[in-house]
Amino acid sequence: MSLPSIAALCRSFPLSPSSSVQTVNLFPPSPALSLARSLAISNQHSSSSLKKTQMIISEERLRHYNYMAEEIFELQTAIYFTEKTFFWGGSENKRKLAWIKWDKILAAREKGGLEIGSIVSFNLALVLKWRWRFVNSGHLLWVKVIKSLYGENGGFGRRSAPAVGGSPWARIISAHGKLDDKGVVSSSVLYKNVGDGQDTRFWLDCWVGDKPLCLLFPRLAALEVDIGCSVAERWSLGDWRWLWRRVFEGGVSHAHLVEMMGLLQKISCSDRKDVWTWGIELDGEYTVAGTRKWIDDQVLPGGIVKIRWSKLVSRKVNVFVWRARLDRLPTRRLLRDRGIDIPSLMCPICVTEVQAVDVRGIGTLFEWIDSSNLNDKKRKVLEAVVDTTLWMVWRYRNDVVFEGKMIRKSFIFDYVREFSFLWVGRCEDAYQMLGKMLEITGVSFR
């Protein structure tokens, strides 16, 4: 199944509600809403007026919800495109070439991206947190109100919840359903870790397998006397105890019971309490950062070479090396391929060859670093020096092309040495190691 793009998710999902339980009125009441409230006060004893008043209030609240959703979607889209423009050095009135697809830049470093993270995934992680709060805050008033309106499960699992024109909670339910349907975040990642079984419903909660037992074995659930019974009520003296509406000894129901017993044979109750577990996190606790990264890993494209990220040099140098390895630097050959008129394709320094990045040579250079007989610390220092050298050569090229400076090439080595110590100097051990490596080569850096 093909996974949706970030742009598609941006169009499909609403922004999360405020993380605070208290609500804030972002919009002043409209004249129609004020009139409806006045009618409700002046006509308290008229049933027809009260019904008309309730209809007016409902329509006005729905209009406010839709207006807020449209405004929030526009804000989310604006942030999405502002990030892209800022990254490539553009502005509101000035656009620059985008050399790499934005979805690839947002991806994790293990997938070849810069691990910036998507604003859409961040929003979805906040939306998913509402379900985590719902199942862990049963004593709060707002949870009791939701259960009275949408049922004990809060409406999760329904596929008929409206995505447009509904209440904020209906939009949250719809977002969960879409993520589950698209295979991005399965509903089974939230499950009950059973202890004593007092707070876990045997048939209705997801605590064994990837779905509630009432969905896995609907025939048995229909025969159950108390569909809302707890696990503790079905566990007695180390064995399972059943209460059926009728006795069955064979057929499909018996086969389903045997299959269900196979799932339950390794499960037993203990003295600890039942807790909800978020399967994405190792410790089972929900975090927005971890869920956001999970969504990005599921949605954003991969297949690019894993990025090499050195903590000893600045971020701009790491991004430059990343672009160089992908052959995405604004060289004259690539500018011509983008349809930009270039007077000459020749290198402005040597004027003998077409200006381009030797991607194969850079790859061979890093392969040599990886295959060297140095320990891990020395290898990292050597890689930082190589990154700095590539960066300084590119800066030298830019000074010649854009500034018209004719700097002696021998100065490049001085700049490499200076900036290497400036950046590597932030780590004391690496700084001392770099000094020893240069002293061995006979280079003075004092």
pLDDT in tens, the chain (446 residues): 344 444 444 444 444 444 433 333 433 444 444 544 454 445 554 556 555 555 655 555 556 555 556 666 677 778 878 888 888 888 777 878 888 888 888 888 888 888 888 888 999 999 999 999 999 998 899 998 888 888 888 888 765 444 444 678 888 898 888 898 888 998 889 888 888 888 888 888 888 877 788 888 999 999 999 988 988 888 887 788 888 988 887 788 889 888 998 888 878 888 888 888 998 998 889 999 999 999 999 988 876 667 888 888 888 999 999 988 888 888 888 888 888 888 888 877 776 777 777 777 888 888 888 888 888 888 888 888 899 889 888 888 888 888 777 777 777 888 888 888 777 766 655 556 555 555 544 444 44
Within-domain flag for 303? no
Question: Do 33 and 54 have their domain in common?
Answer: yes
Residues 55 and 151 in one domain: yes
Q: Are residues 201 and 160 in the same domain?
A: no
Looking up tokens 């297949």 gives: 303
Same domain, 166 and 67: yes
Token representation of residue 206: 């997801």
The pLDDT, as a whole number, for residue 99 is 87
**Confidence (pLDDT) at 364:** 85
> 269 CB contacts (<8 Å, ≥6 apart)?
194, 195, 196, 197, 231, 232, 235
3-state SS assignment for residue 83: helix
Check residue 11 and give its pLDDT: 47
Looking at residue 206, what is its pLDDT?
81
Burial 223-254 (b: 16+ CB within 10 A, else e): bbeeeeebbbebbeeeebeeeeeeeeeeeebe
Do residue 199 and residue 99 come from a single domain?
no
Q: Is residue 320 part of a domain?
A: yes
Identify the sign of the CA torsion 97, 102, 106, 110: negative
Domain ranges, residue 428: 315-440
**Does one domain contain both 131 and 207?**
no
Q: Which tokens go with 154?
A: 């809060």
Residues 28 and 157 grouped into a single domain = yes
pTM of the model: 0.70
177/195 same-domain check = no
Is 337 found in the same domain as 225? no
Instruction: Report pLDDT for 27.
Output: 39
Buried b / exposed e across 32-50, counting CB within 10 Å, b at 16+?
Answer: ebeebeebbeeeeeeeeee
Torsion-angle region of 209 (φ positive above 0: left; ψ -120 to 50: alpha; else: beta): left
Number of domains composing the chain = 3
Mark whether 131 and 193 lie in a shared domain: no
Asked whether the beta carbons of 152 and 144 are under 8 A apart, the reply is no
Q: Are 351 and 384 in contact (CB under 8 A)?
A: no
Domain for residue 289, yes or no? no
Looking at 185, 218, 253, the residue that finishes a domain is 185
Q: Which of 146, 167, 185 is the last residue of a domain?
A: 185
Residues 106, 209 within the same domain: no
Q: Interior CA angle at 140 toward 134 and 143, to 5°?
A: 40
Distance between CA 378 and CA 156 in Å, rounded? Answer: 54
The answer on 248 and 382 residing in a single domain is no
